[in-house]
């Protein structure tokens, strides 16, 4: 049996991306995939990169 479409999770993702309900229902499948798929080669920031950014751009709030 096919799994149900996770509409609630998809709506939450759309809202987090700034897409309101009307815009969500107007999206094509190709547009939805473009909005929600990771960019090629994208990966989470590692701890070392994060620390280099903190050193380069201190905000004074984390001392």
Residue 39 tokens read as: 């960019």
In a domain, 47, yes or no: no
Q: Region 35-57: what's the mean pLDDT?
A: 86
In a domain, 58, yes or no: no
In a domain, 15, yes or no: yes
Query: Distance between CA 47 and CA 35 in Å, rounded?
Result: 26
User: For residue 61, what pLDDT band results from cuts at 50, 70 and 90?
Assistant: low
Rounded to the nearest integer, the mean pLDDT of the chain is 86
Q: What residue numbers bound the domain in which 22 lies?
A: 8-36
**Structural domain total, the chain:** 1
In a domain, 2, yes or no: no
Of 63 and 19, the one with more pLDDT: 19
In a domain, 32, yes or no: yes
In a domain, 60, yes or no: no
Q: Region 25-38: what's the mean pLDDT?
A: 90
Query: Distance between CA 42 and CA 3 in Å, rounded?
Result: 28
Phi-psi region of 60 (alpha: psi -120 to 50; beta: other; left: phi over 0): left
């Amino acid at each position: 049996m096919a799994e149900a479409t996770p509409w609630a999770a998809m709506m939450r993702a759309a809202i987090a991306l700034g897409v309101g309900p009307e815009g969500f229902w107007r999206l094509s499948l190709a547009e939805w995939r473009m909005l929600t798929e990771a960019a090629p080669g994208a990966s989470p920031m590692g701890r070392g990169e994060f620390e280099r950014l903190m050193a380069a751009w201190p905000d004074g709030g984390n001392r």
